[in-house]
Structure 1
Amino acid sequence: MLLAAGLTIATSSCKKDFQTTNTNPNGVVAALPENLLQPALYDVVSRNNTRALRLTHELMQVHVTVSDGDDIQRYLVRPSESDYEWTNWYIQLNNFRDMYNKAVTLKQTTYQGIALICDAYVSSLLTDTFGDVPYFDAVKGQDGTLQPKFDKQQDIYADLFKKLEAANTLLATGTALTDDQLTLDPMYGKQLGAGQSAATIASWRKFGNSLYLRLLMRASGRPESNAIAKIKEMINTSPANYPIISSNTESAIIKYTGSTVPLINPFYTYRDFDFTTGNSMTEFFINTLNNWNDPRRAKWASTVAGGTYLGVPSGFPRGQVPERQSAYLTTLKVEPLLGNILSYAEVQFILAEAALKGYITGDPATYYNNGVTNAITMWGLTVPANYFSNPALAWNPAGVTEAKLEQIMLQKYYTFFFTDFQSWYEYRRTGHPALPKGSGLLNGGLMPSRLYYPVFTQSFNPANYAAAVATQGADDLNTKVWWNK
């Protein structure tokens, strides 16, 4: 809203003689779609990484801050934490919608589809974090809408599905991309290289449909969403019409280039203390990897005396700060794969859950094993011999459904390493993986179901804020969002 107000003031006070004195004859009238994509998507993903470190990994017991000064691991998230996500997501949502409008004007169907996917991605983050949010009237400050109404999450999800359907159709016959345009695509075009227009467009289409599948599964507990029928259509009835990510190379990842701009790893400039020294990985996170003899430990965590991996308890009481143990490796500060948005392994675990619940035909064990294998190989590692002989990893066909779901979701949890808020969303949806509860938890020992709305919304948009609270429920951590009720 502040951004919109600023833009309104700027446009109303700078019109006189603007065309005569401020036009660059060598420039373009407006940014082209391809020029908006890289900075906007990179900004979203890199900022999501920093929030994964700050919030998600504390809530979901990947690590804890080894001090008494931070209560996030104790399930207390203050309203001030919301400002960062809200503001930056809306700024980039504005860019993606601008990108779409410019692509429509230029009749560039490929960028229309890409913009719709990016819009759906950012909008899903907003609504899955806060619940009802401004959506249909959002980022319209330049049109005079400075106090947008909040829309119901159910209605937002219905429109996200429409956008992803449209993106799938647009990208099925998308306009070809030039080599110059490919170099400006931070995800697929840059990685596939020159002359790979068709492959790049196909990869974006698969990403869009995989994102669609993620959101359908999230809404599948609500019959009115019709999500289960759509999942079946995509996977069993008309799979050729809905191609999805089918290998690690097709995963939606902005591969950071270490310390090299423009795709610098967002943690490269962090002090070691802020990234690793001030925290320790948890007993839950480390002990599970130890139990699996998982090779990803060597990529993610430091060892302690004797070359072993140890964690600390999460949710410890104030005044009982544990001694620091294994922590993030500093090599992660230049790791390319931290730019993950949606991986092939995640898609396999979505399908495993769908098959387990009878939404689709297929063997959940096959999807599960594929997911486990590719979650490891994505990191350039080899699955250890006899890995699936471990009873903690082996799929048990005779097991009860809830135990199988725990297996799937526990594995899925590790695929979300530094992936925005996804592990928290999925925990809220399913209650898995089963996290231990420390004796120092606050908030009644309840995992937060959402974040507070930013404080400034109460001041700048009071009527619509009040209407949202009246519709959704109290603006607190324990009010459940639509798909979680």
Structure 2
Amino acid sequence: MKRNIIYGLLLLVAALLSSCDKGFEELNTDPTKTTEAYPYQFMANALINSVSYNMARNRTFNNELMQVTVSLGDGDGKVFRYDFRRSWADYLWNSHYTELTNYKDLYLKALEGINFNRSYQGISLLLQTWTYSILTDTYGDIPYSQSNLGRDSLILEPRFDAQKDIYLDMYQKLDSANTLLSSNDIIEAIHDPVYGGDVSKWRKLCNSLYLRLLLRASHKADVQDMVISKIQEILTNSSKYPVFTNNDDSAILRWTGEGAYRSPYMNTRAQDFRGVGICSFFIDFLRDTNDPRINIPEYGTSGINRWGIAPVSGNFVGVPSGYAAGTEEYTRMSYFYSYDQNSGVNSLQTEPLTGIIMNFAELQLIKAEVVLRGWVAGSAEEYFYSGAESSIKLWLPNWDVSIRAHLAASDVQWDESAGFEEKMARIHQQKYYALFLVDLQQWFEYRRTGYPVLPKGEGLANNGEMPARLFYPVYVHSSNPTNYKLAIAQQGPDEINTKVWWQKP
């Protein structure tokens, strides 16, 4: 009898537990929320992060190498003296590989059922290429074909692809992106922080970026014929390969100051932002050519300019880069104003235009170079002036001075009678300023061309040689040892003077 009672109670408990479980999952699922991700959810936040990472490394690394700024001091680890620690390598590597996962997920989601959207697929391929290009131009050979596969394919130690192979595949990705974007599938403006849903402008960015990367490898004998042929195809077939046509096409993530769109420069303490001196190389040309970006008080209080550069006793004075530690004391001269909500002073800390991905002026100066090299018909002079003018008008759209007269007044105009190298120097003098704030592009272009010609201070380390790359992150040595060793056997020693593929003769 007792045994039967116990057995009955157990059956009752089991029945009760079973009934309690029925509908549990449905009851605890919020019907107003979805468990599925949509393509657009991967795009805006990843773009904000990517641009922020580039801006951080532009300010503290590119600008110091390329004589935009000088972080004064006699201590070790001064980038402006070509002296920096291996730990500098980690930030850009870690950050961009993280966002590559998001860009790849964007592509995968845009392939699925009701989410199918060729515009998002094209944008994904474009943003992957843009990100990989910055990584490979910074480090050389990098994980590419096997990168970001740890989650889905359990490839935790990816191989390092040769930079030549990476470039050839990036070209294919951009061709595919151009085709996908030609479909003009709709993307909502609210989810697009760069072009507000205008897919045609994403397509123009795709092909303008294509020209940047083609030009970077154009001197390599083993790919030169193919590269020049593609440059010609893009620049002579605008219906198939549309490119930027004006400043409105420039790819800029504008910082509105609202919500997530708050400039990452606002995370820098005011005293640190204004504590870095502006280099004499950068500011002397702007001052001596009466450049309106630092001379017209269009924004803020009287005497304050669009780039927010502080004069010294009414003049713009910089600090020479690469000065020897302990041999001469320099004080900060001109500097970038920091944000002060009460002063009305314009500052790059709050400037909406600092999130530049690529601008129209760069494209025009690319055209000037390829015409000068004889690869495409046209007028290098016209493209030179268009690039110089567009660079200024990006910041000062109402500037109405003749660009020819403006440059001639300082004897930096185009000289048709000059030789090839002098013309290249003039083009890249303007390109240097067009690339102001554009991730590490000034450094990449200097390594490709040797322009602009930078003065060499007596205090430079590394035998005065401009670094050719960053080290690989230290943790990669232990986390991916086999492929790390193969990479340095293939590319050369993991040192800053080891040239990447497109730098080698």
TM-score of the two chains, using structure 2 as the length reference: 0.87
- In structure 2, the residue matched to 1:88 is 95
How far off its partner does 1:23 sit?
Answer: 5.7
In 1, Cα distance between equivalents of 2:401 and 2:82: 36
Match for residue 44 of structure 1 among 25, 50, 55: 50
- In structure 1, the residue matched to 2:231 is 231
Instruction: Give the structure with the larger helix fraction.
Output: 1
In 1, Cα distance between equivalents of 2:232 and 2:468: 28
Q: Is the 8 A contact 1:234 1:242 kept in 2?
A: yes
In 1, Cα distance between equivalents of 2:163 and 2:183: 31
Match for residue 62 of structure 2 among 46, 49, 56: 56
Amino acid of the residue matched to residue 186 of structure 1?
A: P
In 1, Cα distance between equivalents of 2:28 and 2:445: 50
In 1, Cα distance between equivalents of 2:329 and 2:307: 23
In 2, Cα distance between equivalents of 1:450 and 1:81: 11
- In structure 2, the residue matched to 1:294 is 291
- In structure 2, the residue matched to 1:193 is none
- In structure 2, the residue matched to 1:167 is 177
- In structure 2, the residue matched to 1:282 is 279
How far off its partner does 1:329 sit?
Answer: 2.3
Aligned in 2, Cα 1:147/1:358: closer, same or farther, shift over 3 Å?
A: same
Deviates more, 1:100-109 or 1:55-64: 100-109
- In structure 2, the residue matched to 1:136 is 145
SS at match of 1:30: coil
How far off its partner does 1:22 sit?
Answer: 8.0
Does residue 202 of structure 1 match 2:212?
no
- In structure 1, the residue matched to 2:349 is 333
How far off its partner does 1:26 sit?
Answer: 3.6
Does residue 364 of structure 1 match 2:380?
yes
- After superposition, residues 215-364 of structure 1 pair within 5 angstroms as 215-225=213-223, 226-236=226-236, 238-258=237-257, 260-277=258-275, 279-297=276-294, 298-319=305-326, 320-330=328-338, 331-364=347-380
- In structure 1, the residue matched to 2:464 is 445
Quick check: which has more Rg, 1 or 2? 2
Q: Is the 8 A contact 1:452 1:477 kept in 2?
A: yes
SS at match of 2:70: strand
Match for residue 127 of structure 2 among 118, 127, 134: 118
- In structure 2, the residue matched to 1:404 is 423
- In structure 2, the residue matched to 1:155 is 165
Aligned in 2, Cα 1:146/1:24: closer, same or farther, shift over 3 Å?
A: farther
Q: Is the 8 A contact 2:119 2:184 kept in 1?
A: yes
SS at match of 1:241: coil
SS at match of 2:160: coil
In 1, Cα distance between equivalents of 2:212 and 2:253: 19
- In structure 2, the residue matched to 1:183 is 190
Amino acid of the residue matched to residue 363 of structure 2?
A: V
The sequence identity of aligned pairs, in percent, is 41
In 1, Cα distance between equivalents of 2:81 and 2:329: 13
How far off its partner does 1:182 sit?
Answer: 1.4
How far off its partner does 1:21 sit?
Answer: 9.8
- In structure 2, the residue matched to 1:194 is none
Aligned in 2, Cα 1:22/1:413: closer, same or farther, shift over 3 Å?
A: farther
Deviates more, 1:382-391 or 1:329-338: 382-391
Q: Is the 8 A contact 1:315 1:440 kept in 2?
A: yes
Aligned in 2, Cα 1:383/1:275: closer, same or farther, shift over 3 Å?
A: farther
Gaps in structure 1 of 5+ consecutive residues = 1-17, 190-196
Q: Is the 8 A contact 1:373 1:383 kept in 2?
A: no
In 2, Cα distance between equivalents of 1:383 and 1:421: 30
Amino acid of the residue matched to residue 468 of structure 1?
A: A
In 2, Cα distance between equivalents of 1:31 and 1:19: 20
Aligned in 2, Cα 1:102/1:316: closer, same or farther, shift over 3 Å?
A: same
In 1, Cα distance between equivalents of 2:465 and 2:400: 36
How far off its partner does 1:415 sit?
Answer: 1.2
* Aligned-pair Cα RMSD in Å: 1.6
In 1, Cα distance between equivalents of 2:400 and 2:321: 29
1:126-177: per-residue Cα shift (whole Å, max 9, x none)? 1000000000000011121000000000011111101100010011113123
Q: Is the 8 A contact 1:168 1:242 kept in 2?
A: yes
Q: Is the 8 A contact 2:312 2:334 kept in 1?
A: no
Does residue 413 of structure 1 match 2:410?
no
How far off its partner does 1:418 sit?
Answer: 1.4
SS at match of 1:341: strand
Deviates more, 1:27-36 or 1:104-113: 27-36
How far off its partner does 1:300 sit?
Answer: 2.1
In 1, Cα distance between equivalents of 2:232 and 2:260: 40
In 1, Cα distance between equivalents of 2:99 and 2:29: 26
Amino acid of the residue matched to residue 82 of structure 2?
A: Y
Deviates more, 1:395-404 or 1:298-307: 298-307
1:211-253: per-residue Cα shift (whole Å, max 9, x none)? 11110011111133321110011112x2221000111111000
How far off its partner does 1:257 sit?
Answer: 1.1
How far off its partner does 1:19 sit?
Answer: 7.9
How far off its partner does 1:45 sit?
Answer: 0.4
Deviates more, 1:201-210 or 1:323-332: 323-332
In 2, Cα distance between equivalents of 1:307 and 1:396: 32
1:44-102: per-residue Cα shift (whole Å, max 9, x none)? 00111011111000000000011123420011232101101000000001110110011
- After superposition, residues 416-427 of structure 1 pair within 5 angstroms as 416-427=435-446
- In structure 2, the residue matched to 1:481 is 500
- In structure 2, the residue matched to 1:28 is 34
Count of matched residue pairs: 453
Deviates more, 1:66-75 or 1:411-420: 66-75
SS at match of 2:357: strand
- In structure 2, the residue matched to 1:97 is 104
- After superposition, residues 448-463 of structure 1 pair within 5 angstroms as 448-463=467-482
Q: Is the 8 A contact 2:55 2:355 kept in 1?
A: yes
Gaps in structure 2 of 5+ consecutive residues = 1-23, 295-304, 339-346
SS at match of 2:42: helix
Q: Is the 8 A contact 2:391 2:434 kept in 1?
A: yes
Aligned in 2, Cα 1:224/1:107: closer, same or farther, shift over 3 Å?
A: farther
1:433-460: per-residue Cα shift (whole Å, max 9, x none)? 0000000000110000000000000010
